[in-house]
């Protein structure tokens, strides 16, 4: 993709625009459809039912049927939310934009990336917290007691679990010595554990504590069970989403699944070696010696790893009960944060020692 | 423009794409969806009964305290990142330095803990 675009004599903005459009249409749209179907089928099978079967073969076109249905639904802004109607309508878009912006830094292959920021993971952590704003706005502007409670709970939860997540990532940054996601991928696949490079050095093995903390924080950031107090259906009737209807509700709903997918992608880049396979298998040493076909195979490998992680996120979601609000905060501040601080120091000591 | 700033153009494209995709779909939806408001439909949802009082109310101070604690810790976490990338160069010196820093960080957490700030109820 890169070579073809660069050979044509285009200005920089056109190249980057084509890159984004190509990536969105060719990679993210099909991937989104597949992941969406996979999740729906998975949760249906867990509940001993078939799931979507009508739209397309085995319900494969369910996402499009869903969009087609929700497009025809009335868009209701409650009377009490009318003074804030503009930001009420804006909130789902902010949440969606946060998800879109997260994809920017994920590398899909040796040359297949949207951007190659030096501070990639830093950017991802910063952008991921933008969704808090959307959720707070949604909760506040709904002028509904449930929504307000849900919005505040969501904000409190995202704030509490952002910290262990950031601190867990530092462990990876120490090991890789860089914040560039592409270089983190290379460092994992070109690395070796105690001199043995058959598997590279996937940080899920050497940073196991950080991986666990990261996945727990992701679960909480996405408000998935067991951390779904902000959108608890049985107490808060979906919290900040209570007053949303029609397509705006669907944006929240799809945004939730999409964010799960994107976070799983980032987790697989940080801990599972991203798009790469251990370089020793093919005799590669640096990123420049990688064969060109990895640009095609890379995204597929990344998606396979991402699906596995999404499966775990959803598995826990569909099979565990809800925590209490005070238990959630206690768990973050008194367990996860001290552990992740100790993990940082331990990683640093080992890094300097070896 | 420097390549550093130029690469952020992609971020702009993605932000625009998010709003364009959502805006396009909402626009299509506006053309084909019905719009028949009535009083009951526009009421605030409160489990099916008429809503009581105002939807906006004061919230607990504890959310504010936790947010404040978060800001302190997050800003300090920002300082750890550049250190983490350069650890190989600083070696033992950086290790001791960061040990002191993290110890102070933990001390702050223990202080908040002892003060009962971390108690939710």
Question: Cβ(B81)–Cβ(A122) under 8 Å?
Answer: yes
In eight-state DSSP terms, residue B121 is -
**One domain, residues A307 and A205:** yes
Q: Tell me the Ramachandran region of residue B113: left when phi exceeds 0, alpha when psi lies from -120 to 50, beta otherwise.
A: alpha
What pLDDT score does A213 carry? 92
Residue A179 and residue B85: Cβ atoms within 8 Å?
yes
Residue B44 and residue A144: Cβ atoms within 8 Å?
yes
**One domain, residues A148 and A42:** no
Choose the final residue of a domain: A30, A54, A72: A72
**One domain, residues A271 and A218:** yes
pLDDT single digits (tens) A153-207: 888 888 888 889 988 998 888 888 888 888 888 888 887 777 777 777 788 888 8
Residue B45 and residue A146: Cβ atoms within 8 Å?
yes
List of chain A residues with pLDDT < 50 = 1, 5
**One domain, residues A6 and A96:** no
**One domain, residues A68 and A84:** no
**One domain, residues A214 and A341:** yes
**One domain, residues A24 and A115:** no
What pLDDT score does A105 carry? 86
**Which candidate, B101, B96, B95, B99, places its Cα nearest to that of B79?**
B101
| Residue A245 Cα distances to A242, B28, B41, angstroms | 8, 16, 11
* Domain count within chain A: 2
Q: Is the pLDDT of residue B121 over 70?
A: no
Query: What is the residue whose two structure tokens read 């990336």?
Result: A113
Q: Which of A67, A163, A349 sits opposite B77 (nearest CB)?
A: A163
Q: Is the pLDDT of residue B19 over 70?
A: yes
Set out the domains of chain B in order of their start, with CATH numbers: 3-114 (1.20.58.1610)
Cα separation, A174 vs A193, whole angstroms: 16
The residue among B93 and A26 whose pLDDT is bigger is B93
Cα separation, A5 vs A15, whole angstroms: 7
Mutation target to probe the A interface, by most A beta carbons within 10 A, among B5, B14, B68 is B14
User: What's chain B's average pLDDT?
Assistant: 81
Residue A144 and residue B66: Cβ atoms within 8 Å?
no
Q: Which of residues 42-101 of B touch A (CB under 8 A)?
A: 42-47, 51, 54-57, 59-60, 63, 66-67, 69-70, 73-74, 77, 80-81, 84-88, 91-92, 94-95, 98-99
Within 8 A by CB and 6+ apart from A136, the residues are A151, A152, A154, A155
**One domain, residues A214 and A274:** yes
pLDDT single digits (tens) B30-52: 888 888 888 877 777 777 777 77
**One domain, residues A279 and A175:** yes
Residue B95 and residue A352: Cβ atoms within 8 Å?
yes
pTM of the complete model: 0.86
**One domain, residues A33 and A153:** no
Choose the final residue of a domain: A72, A100, A129: A72
Chain B residues within 8 A of A101 when measuring between CB atoms: 11, 14-15, 18
Q: Tell me the Ramachandran region of residue A324: left when phi exceeds 0, alpha when psi lies from -120 to 50, beta otherwise.
A: beta
**One domain, residues A194 and A249:** yes
Sequence-ordered alpha helix ranges (H) in A83-144? 85-103, 120-128, 130-141
* Residue environment code for A169-205, b if the CB has 16+ CB neighbours within 10 A, otherwise e: bbbbbbbbbbbbbbbbbbbbbbbeeeeebebbbbbbe
| Tokens at A30, concatenated | 């099909």
Cα separation, A40 vs B48, whole angstroms: 30
Q: Which of A71, A142, A344 sits opposite B80 (nearest CB)?
A: A344
Chain A residues within 8 A of B6 when measuring between CB atoms: 12, 16
ipTM comes to 0.83
* Distance between A45 CA and the closest CA of chain B, angstroms: 31
What pLDDT score does B1 carry? 66
Choose the final residue of a domain: A37, A72, A107: A72
Q: Which of A96, A159, A325 sits opposite B70 (nearest CB)?
A: A159
What pLDDT score does A214 carry? 92
Q: Which of A75, A92, A344 sits opposite B102 (nearest CB)?
A: A344
Q: Which of B63, B69, B95 sits opposite A152 (nearest CB)?
A: B63
What pLDDT score does A8 carry? 60
Between A29-46 and A62-71, two packed helices, what is the crossing angle to 10 degrees?
100
Between A181-190 and A246-271, two packed helices, what is the crossing angle to 10 degrees?
40
A293 C-beta neighbours (distance < 10 Å), count: 9
Residues spanned by the domain of A199: 75-353
Alpha-carbon torsion (A148, A152, A153, A154), positive or negative: positive
**One domain, residues A102 and A64:** no
Cα separation, B26 vs A71, whole angstroms: 8
């Amino acid at each position: 993709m890169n070579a073809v675009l660069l050979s044509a004599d285009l200005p920089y903005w056109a190249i980057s625009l084509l890159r984004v459009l190509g990536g969105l249409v060719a990679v993210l749209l099909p991937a989104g459809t597949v992941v969406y179907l996979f999740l729906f089928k998975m949760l249906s099978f867990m509940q001993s039912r078939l799931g979507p079967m009508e739209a397309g073969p085995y319900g494969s076109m369910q996402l499009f049927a869903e969009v087609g249905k929700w497009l025809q639904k009335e868009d209701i802004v409650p009377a009490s939310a009318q003074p804030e109607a503009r930001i009420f309508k804006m909130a789902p878009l902010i949440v969606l934009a946060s998800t879109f912006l997260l994809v920017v830094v994920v590398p899909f292959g040796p040359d297949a990336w949207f951007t190659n920021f030096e501070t990639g993971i830093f950017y991802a952590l910063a952008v991921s917290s933008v969704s808090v704003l959307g959720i707070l706005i949604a909760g506040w502007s709904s002028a509904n007691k449930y929504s307000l409670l849900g919005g505040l709970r969501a904000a409190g939860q995202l704030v509490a679990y952002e910290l262990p997540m950031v601190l867990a990532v530092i462990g990876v940054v120490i090991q890789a010595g860089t914040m560039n996601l592409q270089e983190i991928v290379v460092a994992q696949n070109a690395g070796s554990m105690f001199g043995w490079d058959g598997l590279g050095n996937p940080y899920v093995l050497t940073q196991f504590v950080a991986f666990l903390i990261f996945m727990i924080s992701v679960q909480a950031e996405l408000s998935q069970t067991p951390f779904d107090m902000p959108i608890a259906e049985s107490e808060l009737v979906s919290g900040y989403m209570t007053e949303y209807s029609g397509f705006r509700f669907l944006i929240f709903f799809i945004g939730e699944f999409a964010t799960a997918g994107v976070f799983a992608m980032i987790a697989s880049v940080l801990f599972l070696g991203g798009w790469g396979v251990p370089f020793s298998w093919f005799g590669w040493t640096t990123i420049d010696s990688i064969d060109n076909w990895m640009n095609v195979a890379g995204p597929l490998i990344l998606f396979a790893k991402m699906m596995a992680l999404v499966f775990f996120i959803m598995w826990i979601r569909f099979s565990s009960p809800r925590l209490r609000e005070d238990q959630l905060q206690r768990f973050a501040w008194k367990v996860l944060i001290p552990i992740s601080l100790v993990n940082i120091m331990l990683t640093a000591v080992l890094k300097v020692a070896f | 423009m420097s390549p550093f700033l130029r690469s952020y153009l992609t971020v702009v494209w993605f932000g625009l794409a998010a709003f364009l995709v959502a805006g396009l779909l909402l626009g299509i939806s506006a053309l084909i969806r019905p719009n028949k408001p009535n009083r009951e439909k526009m009421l605030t949802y409160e489990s099916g009964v008429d809503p009581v009082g105002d939807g906006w109310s004061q919230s607990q101070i504890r959310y504010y305290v936790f947010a404040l604690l978060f800001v302190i810790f997050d800003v300090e976490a920002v300082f750890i990142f550049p250190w983490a990338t350069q650890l190989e160069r600083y070696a033992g010196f950086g290790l001791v330095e960061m040990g002191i820093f993290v110890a102070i960080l933990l001390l702050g957490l223990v202080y908040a803990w002892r003060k009962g700030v971390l108690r939710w109820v």
